[in-house]
Amino acid sequence: MFQALRRAYSVRGGVGCSVAEEQPGRRGVWCSNCGHDLSSVPRGEPCPDCGDTRRTYGVVLEATSTGKASMSWVHTGERIREYWEKRPGWLILTGVLVLGSPFLGLLGIEGWWAVVVGEVAGLLSFGAGLKALTKGRDRTRGEIARGGDR
Protein backbone atom coordinates (compact mmCIF):
# COMPACT_ATOMS: atom_id res chain seq x y z
CA MET A 1 0.00 0.00 0.00
CA PHE A 2 2.82 2.41 0.81
CA GLN A 3 4.48 1.66 -2.50
CA ALA A 4 1.26 2.59 -4.26
CA LEU A 5 1.12 5.91 -2.41
CA ARG A 6 4.73 6.58 -3.34
CA ARG A 7 3.92 5.72 -6.94
CA ALA A 8 0.86 7.98 -6.82
CA TYR A 9 2.96 10.88 -5.61
CA SER A 10 5.70 10.16 -8.11
CA VAL A 11 3.38 10.70 -11.10
CA ARG A 12 2.00 13.93 -9.62
CA GLY A 13 1.43 16.48 -12.34
CA GLY A 14 0.70 13.91 -15.06
CA VAL A 15 -2.36 14.02 -17.34
CA GLY A 16 -5.54 13.58 -15.29
CA CYS A 17 -3.59 13.12 -12.06
CA SER A 18 -4.86 15.16 -9.16
CA VAL A 19 -2.95 13.69 -6.23
CA ALA A 20 -2.24 16.94 -4.45
CA GLU A 21 0.28 17.37 -1.70
CA GLU A 22 -0.98 20.95 -1.43
CA GLN A 23 -4.18 19.83 0.36
CA PRO A 24 -3.15 18.37 3.72
CA GLY A 25 -5.85 16.40 5.50
CA ARG A 26 -7.59 15.51 2.23
CA ARG A 27 -8.91 11.95 2.03
CA GLY A 28 -8.91 10.26 -1.30
CA VAL A 29 -8.81 7.22 -3.51
CA TRP A 30 -6.08 6.84 -6.10
CA CYS A 31 -5.20 4.29 -8.74
CA SER A 32 -2.53 1.99 -7.33
CA ASN A 33 -0.81 1.79 -10.71
CA CYS A 34 -0.74 5.34 -12.10
CA GLY A 35 -1.93 7.57 -9.21
CA HIS A 36 -5.02 8.94 -10.97
CA ASP A 37 -7.71 10.38 -8.63
CA LEU A 38 -10.53 7.81 -8.50
CA SER A 39 -12.85 9.65 -6.07
CA SER A 40 -15.38 10.28 -8.87
CA VAL A 41 -15.10 6.77 -10.41
CA PRO A 42 -17.60 4.21 -9.03
CA ARG A 43 -16.16 1.41 -6.89
CA GLY A 44 -15.12 -1.65 -8.92
CA GLU A 45 -14.74 0.32 -12.17
CA PRO A 46 -11.24 0.36 -13.73
CA CYS A 47 -9.04 3.46 -13.83
CA PRO A 48 -9.91 5.59 -16.87
CA ASP A 49 -6.19 6.21 -17.56
CA CYS A 50 -4.55 2.79 -17.25
CA GLY A 51 -7.44 0.32 -16.79
CA ASP A 52 -6.13 -1.08 -13.48
CA THR A 53 -8.75 -2.00 -10.84
CA ARG A 54 -6.48 -1.72 -7.79
CA ARG A 55 -7.13 1.28 -5.55
CA THR A 56 -5.19 3.04 -2.82
CA TYR A 57 -7.11 4.74 -0.01
CA GLY A 58 -5.36 7.35 2.04
CA VAL A 59 -5.13 10.74 3.65
CA VAL A 60 -2.67 13.40 2.52
CA LEU A 61 -0.68 14.42 5.59
CA GLU A 62 1.90 17.10 6.15
CA ALA A 63 4.43 17.34 8.95
CA THR A 64 7.10 19.85 9.83
CA SER A 65 10.00 19.28 12.15
CA THR A 66 12.93 21.30 13.42
CA GLY A 67 16.12 20.08 14.97
CA LYS A 68 19.67 20.86 15.91
CA ALA A 69 22.70 18.91 14.75
CA SER A 70 26.16 18.85 16.26
CA MET A 71 29.36 16.93 15.70
CA SER A 72 32.59 16.40 17.60
CA TRP A 73 35.68 14.24 17.23
CA VAL A 74 38.31 12.80 19.49
CA HIS A 75 41.65 11.46 18.28
CA THR A 76 42.59 8.49 20.43
CA GLY A 77 45.44 7.00 18.41
CA GLU A 78 49.12 7.45 19.00
CA ARG A 79 51.27 10.36 17.86
CA ILE A 80 54.87 9.74 16.79
CA ARG A 81 57.46 12.52 16.61
CA GLU A 82 60.79 11.69 14.95
CA TYR A 83 63.94 13.77 15.28
CA TRP A 84 67.74 13.53 14.98
CA GLU A 85 69.64 13.67 18.27
CA LYS A 86 73.13 15.21 17.82
CA ARG A 87 76.02 14.65 20.24
CA PRO A 88 78.84 17.10 19.45
CA GLY A 89 81.62 15.18 21.28
CA TRP A 90 81.00 11.99 19.34
CA LEU A 91 80.67 13.98 16.11
CA ILE A 92 84.14 15.52 16.63
CA LEU A 93 85.67 12.09 17.43
CA THR A 94 84.12 10.66 14.23
CA GLY A 95 85.60 13.52 12.19
CA VAL A 96 89.08 13.02 13.70
CA LEU A 97 89.03 9.25 13.06
CA VAL A 98 87.74 9.55 9.48
CA LEU A 99 90.02 12.40 8.47
CA GLY A 100 93.06 11.17 10.43
CA SER A 101 93.14 7.49 9.36
CA PRO A 102 94.76 8.18 5.94
CA PHE A 103 97.70 9.84 7.74
CA LEU A 104 98.60 6.74 9.83
CA GLY A 105 101.43 6.04 7.39
CA LEU A 106 103.09 9.32 8.37
CA LEU A 107 103.35 8.11 11.98
CA GLY A 108 105.80 5.43 10.92
CA ILE A 109 103.38 2.47 11.12
CA GLU A 110 104.19 0.00 8.32
CA GLY A 111 103.21 -3.48 7.19
CA TRP A 112 100.39 -5.51 8.69
CA TRP A 113 100.30 -3.29 11.76
CA ALA A 114 99.26 -0.37 9.57
CA VAL A 115 96.42 -2.47 8.13
CA VAL A 116 95.25 -3.53 11.62
CA VAL A 117 95.44 0.02 13.00
CA GLY A 118 93.54 1.33 9.91
CA GLU A 119 90.79 -1.27 10.37
CA VAL A 120 90.47 -0.47 14.07
CA ALA A 121 90.28 3.26 13.28
CA GLY A 122 87.56 2.52 10.69
CA LEU A 123 85.50 0.44 13.13
CA LEU A 124 85.88 3.08 15.85
CA SER A 125 84.75 5.82 13.46
CA PHE A 126 81.72 3.72 12.47
CA GLY A 127 80.71 3.24 16.13
CA ALA A 128 81.36 6.89 16.95
CA GLY A 129 79.26 7.93 13.95
CA LEU A 130 76.32 5.90 15.23
CA LYS A 131 76.63 7.64 18.60
CA ALA A 132 77.09 11.08 17.02
CA LEU A 133 73.76 11.13 15.15
CA THR A 134 70.86 9.09 16.50
CA LYS A 135 67.31 9.10 15.25
CA GLY A 136 64.92 9.57 18.15
CA ARG A 137 61.23 8.76 18.32
CA ASP A 138 58.69 9.98 20.91
CA ARG A 139 55.31 8.27 21.15
CA THR A 140 52.29 9.82 22.81
CA ARG A 141 49.37 7.48 23.40
CA GLY A 142 45.78 8.22 24.30
CA GLU A 143 43.60 11.24 23.72
CA ILE A 144 45.50 14.00 21.92
CA ALA A 145 43.04 16.43 20.42
CA ARG A 146 39.37 17.25 20.66
CA GLY A 147 37.37 19.16 18.07
CA GLY A 148 33.85 20.08 17.14
CA ASP A 149 31.42 22.17 19.16
CA ARG A 150 32.27 21.03 22.68
pLDDT (0 to 100) of residue 121: 87
pLDDT tens, 117-129?
888 888 888 888 8
pLDDT tens, 50-73?
999 898 888 777 778 888 888 776
| Domain residue limits at 135 | 78-144
Per the model's pLDDT, the better-predicted residue between 21 and 63 turns out to be: 63
Number of domains in the chain: 2
Same domain, 101 and 49: no
pLDDT (0 to 100) of residue 80: 80
Distance CA 56, CA 106 (A): 109
Among the candidates 38, 63, 88, a domain finishes at 63
Same domain, 94 and 55: no
pLDDT tens, 78-95?
778 888 888 899 889 888
Among the candidates 33, 63, 93, a domain finishes at 63
Which pTM value belongs to this model?
A: 0.36
Find the helix packing angle between 112-132 and 88-100, rounded to 10°: 150
The answer as to whether 8 is a domain residue is yes
The set of residues, in sequence order, having a beta carbon less than 8 Å from that of 45 and lying 6+ positions away, is: 53
Judged against a pLDDT cut of 50, whether residue 4 lies above it is answered with: no
Rounded mean pLDDT, 135-148: 68
Distance CA 116, CA 120 (A): 6
The answer as to whether 69 is a domain residue is no
Same domain, 137 and 98: yes
